[in-house]
């Protein structure tokens, strides 16, 4: 057969090409490395990049055009990759885990150097094992499952925010509004389960918890979701966190609206799937308006991307895009920057067969077609070290392969759209300022939120469940002091007492009904252990404990208490006896020193007044014996303010007035002290306070079940052998009457309310000594973070303010004689000593000496002017002799003359001085 020239040439060419293909395949089967790059050192002309996403989905419809636009922008930018172009190979995962895995395996056959996607966390878990084997970096813009960041998936790179940070933001949001329990509604796959698990961990750090997890499979029918929402609507919590897929999430709110769960009192918080739906929706129409209408009051998070010129330019080209589209766009540029650095370092792009993949004969699975990217580890390091600024801001990985600076916007849906009420970032937490402009001194954390029902009042976040389960309330079944709380078979509640009335009054003030059931704790034979009762509340045996439960430090560590409704504290009770009055009891008010000093001052003041009044007052004159009697009578008659002698001198009146004031104080003190001594009761033991309890070795009684045991043993180191348990008031009386020598106790340590009740059964036979050495109170115990504890605390304060709490107290616990008995316990029976009055005596003594000094100074001045010679001779003296006499010194005066001069009356002295003055004037006028 003949062949023409051109035909022959074509045949030869095809033959040569076929042989080359066979050679390449054979070399590949033998594990020979094939360099698909150009022989030129400038790098390959084309590099394949894969993309895995569900095209017909909320995220896919927004991300697909963003990735294509990024490929075009990279290929048209000569400053990056040079002559190398990126070739996008896109595979649709069809929102199916199985099909998505098949599509991913098929993509790996195309010798891609990196794969962008998938958007599903479930598919990402499977594909991560494949790329680990083939060394192909996997960059996911939407797989937010926190567990994908583990060391198990080294080739998985999350180019979006980690749900770990989103759940931390939700936990801070819940803490900000002071909610303690939430219900999680989520899709039951890797994305939903692991995200909610991260939320639970974050809530625990803020002392909150997930009370119920409502999970449903992906693609569940509406009737199944309706059943789930109906069930959670019967539960206590009204705070719902919704973590589902964007394509089916809005339907949950449509069902919730039909069930009446989008009204006042409900709280709906969603993750960033909801803004993705709203951001990528078309222009407002009837459908979108209906969607927003069912979302009124919902609070949601959206990945925060800072405002930039690049982002504004992108927004002008693409009207409807969500944050996932921005991260998808930046993912392409991340690959481009890493490849550029990778190729410029002289690396090539080569693939080889994986010897670990089996060659199964007869199988349609062409596993041998999967090629290993030889330079994959180096490209991975280039990706991790790349740092650039994209649409989402700074694009850089931290040491945990998470994007730096995670931040979210807090959105509130209302009206026809949504508004930003705050931000959350890893560094600053919640704030009204954006993370780029946030300051550490910003005090406001969020703007006001419009909740479902168009209210700005923060929802309480919980109600009592409508599932028929009343509140289980443990009530101590006491043996003694039944006025506080005890069993009551005639009451429909089954219990009665002071604590029950307070609790019922507080519950009636709550704005919502509280179904409750009282359950007795104990057998009534002896008082139950209150510490065990509190532990039963913490262990979920009871929802609350209502009774005389003392608030202690150890108990507050395991349960929450309400505001105390009764002040309490430990006191000491001891027996007392009447004092036998002695015949010398009237001397006990003062000590011996006080008696001696007082008597001495009576004599001193009498003598001082006699001196000051002797020359002026005739009542203080007469024979010596009469004057001594006058001094003694006047001195002691001032004790009763019955002195009959009048004082006429100014100094005498001053001293007497001051002394009468001192006598008044002494008389009053004596009377009060004597009255106390004659009526006070005396202790029969040496215990007078807490120090006596510690230093003594005598037995001490405590109430059965009281926390006083732990306090005495652990805090005061009292020996356990000294403790005696007493059941009721009768045991108290018998033990105190017997005393420690006859098998009783020396004292009883109990709380003040019980002691006041105990006093009503005795006739001041016992009394309180010392002061309260603990300060505490009675409160109602609830499980940790129970919202009832806060509401009931407010109700108790309201009862206290309107007087109802006092009226309930008077109804059950009014002490009839406790006050009078307690008042006697504070009476001081010690004798009054000089130290209590030395100031008065000092002032009185100083006044006496000052008055005497002034008086004697006047007397001496008069005596110097007085001449006894002129008085005796009545002769006219010469002027020189008169002058010599008038100027005579006191040294020449005899003591007898001075006493005679003092003994004369004041009127006589003044008359003689006047006469001497006239005689001296005559001698001066006569001629020499």
Residue-wise pLDDT tens digits, 48-86: 999 999 898 899 999 999 999 999 999 999 899 988 999
| Residue 194 near residue 143, CB atoms below 8 Å | no
Adjacency order of strands within the sheet including 407-414: 209-216, 181-187, 239-243, 267-270, 299-303, 407-414, 417-425, 429-431
Question: Is pLDDT of 15 > 50?
Answer: no
Q: Distances from the Cα of 628 to the Cαs of 141, 614, 624, in angstroms?
A: 119, 12, 6
Q: Distances from the Cα of 882 to the Cαs of 865, 885, 897, in angstroms?
A: 12, 5, 19
Q: Residue range 143-149: average pLDDT?
A: 90
Q: At what angle do helices 624-637 and 592-613 cross, to 10 degrees?
A: 130
Q: Residue range 373-387: average pLDDT?
A: 93
Element (H, E) at 578: strand 570-578
Across the chain, what does the average pLDDT equal? 82
Q: Distances from the Cα of 302 to the Cαs of 275, 430, 444, 528, 726, in angstroms?
A: 6, 14, 20, 54, 64
Q: Residue range 736-748: average pLDDT?
A: 89
> Which pLDDT value is given to residue 509?
93
> Which pLDDT value is given to residue 926?
53
Q: Residue 724 — φ and ψ, nearest 5°?
A: -125, 130
| Residue 850 near residue 843, CB atoms below 8 Å | no
Residue with the larger pLDDT of the pair 255 and 641:
255
pLDDT grade for 552, boundaries at 50, 70 and 90: very high
Count, residues in the chain: 928
- How far apart are the C-alpha atoms of 767 and 751, rounded to whole Å? 14
| N-to-C CA span, the chain | 203
- How far apart are the C-alpha atoms of 221 and 260, rounded to whole Å? 20
Q: Residue range 732-743: average pLDDT?
A: 89
Q: Of 189, 239, 169, give the one whose Cα is nearest residue 209.
A: 239
Residue with the larger pLDDT of the pair 401 and 369:
401
- How far apart are the C-alpha atoms of 15 and 422, rounded to whole Å? 70
Torsion of CA 279, 282, 284, 287, to 10 degrees: -100
Among 328-337, 545-554, 815-824, which stretch is predicted with the lowest mean pLDDT?
815-824
- How far apart are the C-alpha atoms of 111 and 370, rounded to whole Å? 8
55: exposed, middle or buried (Cβ count in 10 Å: 0-12, 13-18, 19+): middle
pLDDT tens-digit readout, 655-691: 878 878 888 888 888 888 777 776 655 555 667 788 8
> Which pLDDT value is given to residue 325?
93
By DSSP bridging, strand 429-431 and strand 417-425 are: antiparallel
Element (H, E) at 582: none
Beta bridge partners of 419: 412
pLDDT tens-digit readout, 435-482: 888 665 556 789 999 999 999 999 999 888 766 678 999 999 998 888
Q: Residue range 121-148: average pLDDT?
A: 91
Q: Residue range 405-430: average pLDDT?
A: 92
Could you check whether the bond before residue 551 is cis, i.e. omega within 30 degrees of 0?
A: no
> Which pLDDT value is given to residue 143?
92
Beta bridge partners of 268: 240
pLDDT grade for 762, boundaries at 50, 70 and 90: confident
> Cα-atom radius of gyration of the chain, to the nearest Å?
52
CA 1 to chain centre: 102
| Residue 747 near residue 722, CB atoms below 8 Å | no
C-alpha angle with apex 680: 678 to 683, nearest 5 degrees?
Answer: 130
> Which pLDDT value is given to residue 377?
93
> Which pLDDT value is given to residue 96?
75
pLDDT grade for 928, boundaries at 50, 70 and 90: very low
> Which pLDDT value is given to residue 577?
67
Residue with the larger pLDDT of the pair 564 and 923:
564
> Which pLDDT value is given to residue 169?
96
> Which pLDDT value is given to residue 593?
85
- How far apart are the C-alpha atoms of 809 and 566, rounded to whole Å? 9
Percent of the chain with pLDDT over 70: 80
Residue with the larger pLDDT of the pair 29 and 507:
507
Residue with the larger pLDDT of the pair 12 and 128:
128
| Residue 416 near residue 295, CB atoms below 8 Å | no
- How far apart are the C-alpha atoms of 412 and 93, rounded to whole Å? 33
Q: Residue range 355-360: average pLDDT?
A: 63
Q: Residue range 791-804: average pLDDT?
A: 93
């Amino acid at each position: 057969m003949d062949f023409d020239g051109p035909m022959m040439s074509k045949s030869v060419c095809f033959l040569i090409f076929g042989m080359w293909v066979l050679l390449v395949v054979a070399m590949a089967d033998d594990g020979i490395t094939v360099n698909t790059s150009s022989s030129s050192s400038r790098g390959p002309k084309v590099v394949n990049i894969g993309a895995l996403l569900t095209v017909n989905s909320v995220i896919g419809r927004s991300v697909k055009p963003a990735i294509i636009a990024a490929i075009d922008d990279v290929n048209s930018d000569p400053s990056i990759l040079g002559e190398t172009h990126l070739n996008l190979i896109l595979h649709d995962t069809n929102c199916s885990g199985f099909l998505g895995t098949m599509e991913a395996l098929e993509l790996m056959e195309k010798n891609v150097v990196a794969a962008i996607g998938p958007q599903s966390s479930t598919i990402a878990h499977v594909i991560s094992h494949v790329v680990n084997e083939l060394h192909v970096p996997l960059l996911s813009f939407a797989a937010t499952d926190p567990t994908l960041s583990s060391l198990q998936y080294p080739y998985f790179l999350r180019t979006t925010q980690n749900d770990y940070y989103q759940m931390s933001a939700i936990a801070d949001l819940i803490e900000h509004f002071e909610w303690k329990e939430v219900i999680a509604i989520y899709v039951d796959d890797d994305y939903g389960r692991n995200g909610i698990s991260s939320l639970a961990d974050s809530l625990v750090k803020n002392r909150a918890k997930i009370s119920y997890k409502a999970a449903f499979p992906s693609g569940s029918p509406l009737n199944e979701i309706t059943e789930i929402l109906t069930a959670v609507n019967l539960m206590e919590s009204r705070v719902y966190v919704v973590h589902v897929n964007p394509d089916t999430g809005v339907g949950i709110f449509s069902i919730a609206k039909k069930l009446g769960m989008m009204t006042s009192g409900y709280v709906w918080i969603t993750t960033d799937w909801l803004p993705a739906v709203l951001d990528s929706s078309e222009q407002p129409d009837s459908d979108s308006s209906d969607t927003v209408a069912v979302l009124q009051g919902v609070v949601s998070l959206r990945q925060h991307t800072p405002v930039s010129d690049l982002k504004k330019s992108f927004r002008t080209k693409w009207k409807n895009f969500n944050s996932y589209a921005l991260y998808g766009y930046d993912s392409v540029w991340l690959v481009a920057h890493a490849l550029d650095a990778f190729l410029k370092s002289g690396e090539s792009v080569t693939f080889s067969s994986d010897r670990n993949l089996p060659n199964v004969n007869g199988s349609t699975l062409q596993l041998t077609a999967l090629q290993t990217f030889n330079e994959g580890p180096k490209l991975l390091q280039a990706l991790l070290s790349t740092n650039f600024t994209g649409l989402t801001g700074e694009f850089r990985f931290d040491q945990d392969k998470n994007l730096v600076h995670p931040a979210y916007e807090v959105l509130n849906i209302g009206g026809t759209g949504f508004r930003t009420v705050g931000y959350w970032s890893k560094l600053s937490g919640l704030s009204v300022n954006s993370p780029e402009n946030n300051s550490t001194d910003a005090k406001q954390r969020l703007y006001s939120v419009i909740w479902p029902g168009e209210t700005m009042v923060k929802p309480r976040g919980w109600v009592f469940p409508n599932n028929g389960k009343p509140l289980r309330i443990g009530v101590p079944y006491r043996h003694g002091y039944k006025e506080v709380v005890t069993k009551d078979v005639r009451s429909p509640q089954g219990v009665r007492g002071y604590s029950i009335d307070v609790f019922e009054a507080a519950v009636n003030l709550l704005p919502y009904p509280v179904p409750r059931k009282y359950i007795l704790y104990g057998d009534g034979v002896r008082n139950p252990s209150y510490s065990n009762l509190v532990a039963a509340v913490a262990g979920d045996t009871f929802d609350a404990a209502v009774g005389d439960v003392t608030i202690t430090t150890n108990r507050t560590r395991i349960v929450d208490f309400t505001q105390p409704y009764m002040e309490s504290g430990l006191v000491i009770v001891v027996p007392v006896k009447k004092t036998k009055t002695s015949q010398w009891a009237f001397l006990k008010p003062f000590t011996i020193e006080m008696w001696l000093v007082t008597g001495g001052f009576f004599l001193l003041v009498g003598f001082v007044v006699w001196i000051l009044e002797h020359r002026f007052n005739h009542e203080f004159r007469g024979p010596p014996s009469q004057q001594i009697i006058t001094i003694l009578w006047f001195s002691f008659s001032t004790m009763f303010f019955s002195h009959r002698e009048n004082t006429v001198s100014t100094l005498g009146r001053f001293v007497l007035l001051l002394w009468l004031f001192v006598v008044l104080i002494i008389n009053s003190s004596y009377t009060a002290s004597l009255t106390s001594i004659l009526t006070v009761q005396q202790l029969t033991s040496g215990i007078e306070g807490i120090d006596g309890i510690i230093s003594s070795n005598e037995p001490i009684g405590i109430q059965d079940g009281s926390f006083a045991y732990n306090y005495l043993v652990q805090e005061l180191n009292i020996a356990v052998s000294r403790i005696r348990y007493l059941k009721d008031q009768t045991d108290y009386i018998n033990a105190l009457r017997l005393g420690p020598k006859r098998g009783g106790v020396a004292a009883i340590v109990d709380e003040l309310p019980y002691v006041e009740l105990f006093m009503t059964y005795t006739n001041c036979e016992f009394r309180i000594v010392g002061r309260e050495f603990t300060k505490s109170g009675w409160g109602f115990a609830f499980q940790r973070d129970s919202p009832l504890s806060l509401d009931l605390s407010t109700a108790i304060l309201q009862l206290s303010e309107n007087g109802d709490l006092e009226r309930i107290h008077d109804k059950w616990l009014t002490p009839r004689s406790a006050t009078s008995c307690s008042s006697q316990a504070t009476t001081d029976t010690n004798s009054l000593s000089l130290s209590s009055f030395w100031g008065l005596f000092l002032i009185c003594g100083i006044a006496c000496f000052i008055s005497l000094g002034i008086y004697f100074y006047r007397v001496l001045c008069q005596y110097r002017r007085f001449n006894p010679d002129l008085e005796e001779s009545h002769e006219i003296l010469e002027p020189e002799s008169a002058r010599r006499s008038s100027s005579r010194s006191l040294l020449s005066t005899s003591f007898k003359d001075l006493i005679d001069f003092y003994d004369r009356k004041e009127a006589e002295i003044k008359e003689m001085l006047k006469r001497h003055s006239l005689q001296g004037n005559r001698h001066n006028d006569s001629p020499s």
